[in-house]
Structure 1
Amino acid sequence: HYSIGAACAAGNASLIQGVQMMRLGEVDMALAGGISESTGSFGIFASFQAQGALGSADDPREACRPFDKSRDGIVVSEGACIYVLETLENALARGATIYAEIVGYAMNSDAKDYVLPYSKRQAECMELALERAGLQPEDIDIVNTHATGTKQGDIEECKALRKLFANCKNTYINNTKSIIGHAMGAAGVLELAGNLPAFTDNSVHPTINVTDLDPECNLPNLIIGEAVQLDSVNTILNNSFGMVGINSVVIVKKLQ
């Protein structure tokens, strides 16, 4: 029982750590996830405000708006999500409800700037996760973006996404923070949970609050405003990046 210090990538990092421990034979089962109760902490708000990264709009429709030209920062939220991780064999043997199979993951470091993200390393992190999953970019049905609503952060991630998915006609991109805000260390696992229902209903939830798309954030198949219904959803790539240059990517697959 321990916590992982990986900033806003901690949720994804916990899933990765759990899988690695099982593969090493250290545990048969792991509880992994994230909990955020940031709104009671003055330090969280003060640090983001000092960086000019805290959203200032009072209207909820204008507050958390990744990819919009008028975005001006993050909206801090609270939440928690814990997953039960176990081998497929154990899950089948006990008749567990299986929500997804973790098939690929990666973590790396920008090694460039304490605050500003670096698209090159973000792209490399996604590429490594895909390689470990034995997948190509065009095999991904949904990409959940990390984008928090900061000016440069959103642009850098979009650069990385275009490098991998620019020619993927059947890959759809969304953002969950626009709906629930930024839950810090719990963000990755909460946002993955927000997309897992697509394995059942084949519906890709939208990015909301975008009224004027930033041209630098224009992505192919970026879902804005309304959900999109697909014929099938089998794979989800979940991005979660943190300050001090921590990048994490988890890829999950629908159990066939």
Structure 2
Amino acid sequence: MHIQRVAITGMGSVSPLGSGVEELWTGLVSGRSGISRMDELELVKGLRPRVAGRVTEVNAKAIPRKFRRTMSNFSIFAAIAALEAVAQAGLDEQTISGGRTGLSVGSTTGSSQALEQFFKLYLPENSLEAIRSTEFFKIMNHSAAANLSQFFGITGRVIAASAACSTGCQNIGLAAEAIATGKQDIMLCGGTDELHPLTVGTFDIIEAASNSGAEDPTKASRPFDAARDGIVCAEGAGMLVLENYEQAEARGAKILGEIAGFSSLCDSSNMASPSSEAISRCMKAALNDAGISASEIDYVNAHATGTLQGDASEAQAVAGLLGSSAPVSSLKGHLGHTMAASGAIETIATICMMQENTIIPTANLTVPAQECSAINNVLHLQERPITYALKNNFALGGINTALVLRRA
């Protein structure tokens, strides 16, 4: 089977740092934090965390009400990000709806906000009478994919991979494979999620959420740091346009980067705690898919969420495979953990780093933990060229993913 090269020609983002890739990048470069106090969390009995990463500005009215009425927040985030990506790629309506353009996007679950509203109306009187007909389209697990395909008129293949924190990365990888194998010429892809107290509660229940940040929310998320105490939940969306490389060149599109390799493997040893061996196996498979050696990786954008076990396992795996030469950083100190969106937003940021020859440090990393000190932790902005970058994402249930990105 002929394998095609896969170019990135468009990127769009909605994150706690603002709406748009430019806002994301300038926020990261300036060291700004998207984490703030979330008063809504105080209303939930037994919930300990008090901070999160909220999306504060988004122009939902850019989406006509005809489409917006079946969208929850995460579909709105994804649509806004996708509009930016499509505009940058220069795709016209005919190209998008012609059948050779597909879509791959997912969220962790259906809309938690819509689910809460549904049961508030249903449970008191065991009645469906007050429930709107549009609510189901927000609750179904492929809500983002269904809403975006309708909004953009996509008639090609639609994939709605849902793998918790690996969702964004997995959808990008699956989209790249659809192009590499010639199944589609163009794929709009990424991940999206919305914040809800139940999201925070999930990690609090399993003792994986950060309970710090009462005095300074911006310091709560501390990947790889000795003082880290867990995940700070967040929301947002990242969307990319991937395209057959030769086709992109032929139509004069600006190529932002390239998806050179992808791996998605399962760690069946534990439902919640990732093993360094499985992480290493996943990264090796991505390198093999790209046809490069570990020594060619110039930067690792780590999953590193600030948990004790997860950060340690990833650091051990990266050190074992790459040694201490390649710089390693996590963006969750700036953004929090945007869940299904994290892989896509962080991939976009990594492409920006490659374009600008600038490596973003791990925010709030002041004293690397001993178990995380064998890697080349980035503590300050670095000016450094990146030809190949490795992007990691790992999820509950052992769903590990890794992308190899190549400079344009």
Give the SS at the match of 2:397.
helix
* 1:179 equivalenced with 2:334 (yes/no): yes
Deviation at 1:4, TM superposition (A): 1.0
Residue number in structure 2 paired with 1:126: 283
Which residue, 237, 260, 268 being the options, matches 1:103?
260
Question: Structure 2 unaligned runs (5+)?
Answer: 1-157
Cα deviation, residue 199, structure 1: 2.1
Letter in 2 for 1:236: A
**Take 2:351 and 2:179, find their aligned partners in 1: how far apart are those partners?**
22
Map Cα deviations across residues 110-165 of structure 1 (whole Å, 9 max, x no partner): 01111111110110010011111111111011100001001111111111111111
Separation in structure 2 between the aligned mates of residue 198 and residue 45 of structure 1, nearest angstrom: 30
Alignment of 1:1-256 (within 5 A): 1-37=158-194, 39=195, 41-58=196-213, 59-166=216-323, 169=325, 171-224=326-379, 226-230=380-384, 232-255=385-408
1:213 Cα deviation after fit: 1.7
The structural deviation recorded for 1:93 is 1.4
Structure 1 ranges of 4+ moved more than 3 A: none
Taking only the aligned residue pairs, the percentage that are identical comes to 34
Which residue identity does 1:211 align to in structure 2? T
Aligned length: 249
CA-based RMSD = 1.3
Q: What is the Cα deviation at residue 247 of structure 1?
A: 0.3
Distance in 1, Cα, partners of 2:363 & 2:378: 9
Instruction: Measure the CA separation in 2 of the matches of 1:213 and 1:19.
Output: 35
Conservation of the 8 A alpha-carbon contact between 1:177 and 1:191: no
Residue 166 of structure 1, CA deviation? 1.2
Residue 36 of structure 1: how far off its partner (Å): 1.4
Q: State the one-letter code of the partner of 2:383.
A: Q
Q: Which amino acid aligns with 2:353?
A: A
**2:396 aligned partner, one-letter code:** M
Q: Check the 8 A contact 2:318/2:375 in 1, yes or no.
A: no
Structure 1 residue 209, shift from structure 2 partner:
0.5
Q: Which has the larger radius of gyration?
A: 2
Structure 1 unaligned segments of length 5 or more: list them: none
For residues 95-118 of structure 1, the C-alpha deviation after alignment (integer angstroms, 9 at most, x for no partner) is 112111111110100011111111
2:315–2:375 Cα contact (<8 Å) kept: no
Letter in structure 2 aligned against 1:20: E
1:22-81 deviation digits (Å, cap 9, x = unpaired):
2333211111001111x2x23212211101111111223430001111111111111111
Whole-Å Cα distance in 2 between the matches of residues 132 and 218 of structure 1?
28
User: How many Å separate the matches in 2 of 1:219 and 1:11?
Assistant: 28
State how far apart, in whole Å, the 2-side matches of 1:188 and 1:238 are. 8
CA distance in 1, matches of 2:355, 2:255: 12
What is the alpha-carbon distance in structure 2 between the residues aligned to residue 222 and residue 211 of structure 1? 10
